Structure 1
Amino acid sequence: MKSKKRLLLITVLALFFSLVLGGCGGKQEIKQGDNVVIAQVNGEDILYNEFYDIYNYTLISKEIDPETEDEEELAYMKEIKEQILEDLITRKVMQQKMEADGYEITDEIMKEAEDSFNSMIEMIGLQMQLQAQFGGDEGAEEKDYKKEAEEYVAGELELMNMTKEDYIKNMAEEIMANNYFEDLTKVVEASEEEIKSFYDKELEISKTDGNGAIDLIKPAQTRVKHILIKIADEDTGEYFNLYTGGKFDEAESFLEEKLAEIKPKAEEVLEKAKNGEDFEALIDEYGEDPGMESEEYKDGYLVDEMSNFELPFKEASLKLEEGEISDLVPTVYGYHIIKAYEKSEEKVYTLEEKRDEIKERLDREKKNEFVEKEIDRWMEEAEIVKYMDRI
């Protein structure tokens, strides 16, 4: 079987990590068979239990009833079985190759795996916290999200019939595999000719449709700051409710009404800005965009044709000359008074400016391709026996 892209060691870890934040249905029971040999790789056994834990968890996560009689689901379950067995065989071949070349899990690798596990817990906890906060969960600030993340992961590990120690060991195996492949591909790198050829092709693509693999053209940009005179948040929400409900005319009439209510204040601030009053001071006094107060946007917003700003805001920003202040710009959020602080023309990056980025990308692709071919060669050379009737 032709190998898939698989630079990293294919383990239960990879399956778990890809699914751990995806959620799954209730636990389903699949009767586990005897711990029989389901495959042999160079005389080394792969046992049914190794397969079962992954297969069981996969069915649970994909909410597939193991007792289903649906033909499509049965065919899909057969594909899952075949792929899991193929992955286990590939893993075994790679493990044998690494052991033969003297690679083993050291204390340093185990420490790195433990640190990675703890970082994963923190990441999951942070995601839980963000979901709770944005979901309006009452008491979100008072919860111990690290503890919740630990309990969640413990539950997932239980479904996979794994302990925390098992999981960390799998992580350590993956780190060892990464180390092995890094050493194996040390001399694999892109040539100067390949780098230049990639640049020339990507530049042509960027000039024609702008969808190149890397950014070789920096679009014309305007750096702006603005004073936002807001309509009430609940009014913006009502506008969106009307609009998404298909009541377009009603939504536009509602927005015009709410904009009219704040227009006198907006015109007053605009007059001050046009008369030369300090724009930064006006932002502080009247502006209602939190972004203007953040450290991230202390220098303003960079606006170009690809920006995701409201269209009237974007169009007005790009028309301004450096130092120029716009008239009132209405959007669903209120009136904007925009000042252009800096304009830059379109820039085409030279090969030298992008050489390192291109080389890194091509090196990675060539290393991946090299590893794929090596794994294919190892698989072809290995003595593999499969007992599909046992799974």
Structure 2
Amino acid sequence: MKLNKTIALVAVILMTAATLIGCGAKPVLAATVGDQEVTVTQLENSYLSGSSYASMYGYDTSTEEGVTQYRDYLLDNLISSAMKVYQAKLAGITLTDEELAAAKATAQQNYDDTVASFEQQAQQAGATNVEAYAKTLFTKALVANKTTVKKLQADMLQDAIDNTLVSKHKTALLEGVTMTDEELSAKYAEVLASQKEQFDATPSDYFTFETYAQYGYNAPPVYVPAGFFRVRHILVADEITANMIKEKIDAGEDFEALLAEYGTDPGMQSDANAAGYLVGEGASFVEPFLNAALALAKDGDVSAPVESDYGWHIIKRVSTEPAHEIPYEDVKGAFDLYEQSLYSEQYYADIVSKWVADTTLVTKYPENYASVGK
């Protein structure tokens, strides 16, 4: 049966539950991992909720081969998750009363969020009786996913407990695992060389790295390529004020004095931005601001007032930024934190890979899951 998006919502949460079986039915196994079971229903839910993302991982599910490869990829992920739980229990990891209470609270919140998602769907559908329609949608999703409210709540609780066990075990395994100062310094040199090559070829990649670094997705930029410049701007709420300020600038009044008097962007008051915002193609500013800034041909040029969602801007190009390396000492905190995290995650991933490679612990039942995704 083809499920609509509403029904599929619950599968996203169900896919990571410890066991997903119909009420009172014996589970059909896709794999066993020690004493842990990975059911075909788990794999089906995982495929259902993740199929739209298959292409992001390089799988073409429009072909039978692609479906099989993506299904096997998902099964391997489920096996890896089950292995982590098995190894945590094997290591004797247990939860304190406080940790168990926190896991219960997490499970309850996950259940409440699931119910709320159906209420939101009912509201968006314009239902006259939102509560009744949401209940109908939720019931259909439970049936489609071969579970019940009681079973769903139990699965969510077990999932929260297992996640806490795994996290606690991981912390124990990674205790004392760290890069040396020499390794971090060598890594900085490696990253610097790589960024020089990449940013000199494609300067806009600098801003991509900068944005990703803010969210912890990569190391901070340690090299600034040529072609960028810095700007400062006066942000005000209305066009009349912006035009008045521009007239004052044109008459020779000091830009910085006017910025101090009228500017409303707190970023301009920050010591970190004293030199101005770094601008170049690909910089992550709103389009009207960026376009106006990029149009400034030389240092000292001031833009006409330009409107964005934030208000009205008068932008001044204050200096050309030469290509330069950012010293390790200037980024050490963020750089070390990111690289240490990568190192620890890889260390743990290598441990998990060795666990999963143990054929005495992992058994797959392809005859049971061959039809998943097809």
CA shift digits 1:92-137 (9 cap, x unpaired): 4333321121113443233333454577689999999x99xxxxx9
Q: How does 1:142-157 map to 2 (within 5 A)?
A: none
Aligned-partner residue type, residue 35 of structure 1: P
The question of 1:389 aligning with 2:367 is answered yes
**Distance across 2 between alignment mates of 1:359 and 1:366:** 10
- Corresponding position of 1:315: 294
Contact map agreement 1:54 1:84 (CA 8 A) in 2: yes
Q: Is the 8 A contact 1:273 1:282 kept in 2?
A: no
Which residue of the partner structure matches residue 35 of structure 1?
A: 27
Give unmatched runs, 5+ long, in structure 2. Answer: 1-10, 17-21, 53-60, 200-204, 210-218, 370-374
TM-score, normalised via structure 1 length: 0.57
Q: Does 1:103 align with 2:93?
A: yes
Match of 1:173 in 2: 162
Cα distance in 2, alignment partners of residues 351 and 89 from structure 1: 40
- Larger RCO (CA within 8 A; separation ≥ 6): 1
1:172 maps to a residue whose letter is I
Which of 370, 381, 391 is equivalent to 2:347? 370
Distance 1:267 1:176, change over 3 A: closer
Identity %: 14
Structure 1 residues without counterparts, runs of 5 or longer: 1-14, 21-29, 64-70, 132-136, 231-261, 284-291
Counting only pairs closer than 5 Å after superposition, residues 1-391 of structure 1 correspond to structure 2 as 16=12, 35-42=27-34, 44=35, 46=37, 50-56=39-45, 58-59=47-48, 62=51, 72=62, 74-116=64-106, 159-160=144-145, 161=147, 162-210=151-199, 211=205, 213-217=219-223, 220-227=229-236, 270-275=246-251, 276=253, 279=258, 302-305=277-280, 306-308=283-285, 309-310=287-288, 311-315=290-294, 319-321=298-300, 326=302, 328=304, 338=314, 340=316, 348-383=325-360, 384-391=362-369
Shift of 1:222: 2.6
1:55, CA displacement in angstroms?
Answer: 0.6
Alignment check: 8 A CA contact 2:235 2:264 kept: no
Q: State the Cα deviation string for residues 64-102 of structure 1 (Å, max 9, x = none).
A: xxxxxxx95544443454344434433443333211211
| Cα contact 2:32–2:363 (8 A) shared by 1 | yes
1:51 and 1:371 map into 2 onto residues whose CA distance is 27
Alpha-carbon separation, structure 1, partners of 2:190 and 2:111: 42
- Aligned-partner Cα distance in 1 for 2:258–2:135: 49
C-alpha separation in 2, matches of 1:350 and 1:225? 31
Go from structure 1 to structure 2 and tell me whether the alpha carbon gap of 1:337 and 1:361 turns closer, same or farther (over 3 Å shift).
closer
Count residues in correspondence: 303
Whole-angstrom CA distance in 1 between matches of 2:308 and 2:196: 34
Higher CA-based Rg: 1
**Residues in 2 aligned to 1:115 and 1:317: alpha-carbon distance in whole angstroms:** 55
CA distance, structure 2, for counterparts of residue 18 and residue 303 of structure 1: 45
- Asked if the contact 2:229–2:320 (Cα under 8 Å) also holds between the matched residues in 1, the reply is yes
Other structure's SS at 1:186 match: coil
> Alpha carbons of 1:298 and 1:75: their partners in 2 closer, same or farther (altered >3 Å)?
same
Q: Does the CA contact (< 8 Å) of 1:55 and 1:80 recur in 2?
A: no
TM-aligned CA deviation for residue 184 of structure 1: 0.2
Task: Tell me if the contact between 1:181 and 1:371 (Cα under 8 Å) persists in the aligned partners.
Answer: yes
Amino acid at match of 1:377: K
SS of the residue 2:191 aligns to: helix
How far apart are residue 270 of structure 1 and its match?
3.3
Q: Deviation of residue 153 (structure 1)?
A: 8.4
From the superposition, tell whether residues 316 and 54 of structure 1 become closer, same or farther in structure 2 (CA, over 3 Å): same
CA deviations on 1:27-75 (whole Å, 9 max, x unpaired) are xxx9x99634554444x4736xx32144146336648xxxxxxx95544
TM-score using structure 2 length: 0.59
User: Any conservation in 1 of the 2:115–2:138 contact (CA below 8 Å)?
Assistant: no
TM superposition shift of 1:317: 6.2
How far did 1:227 drift?
5.0
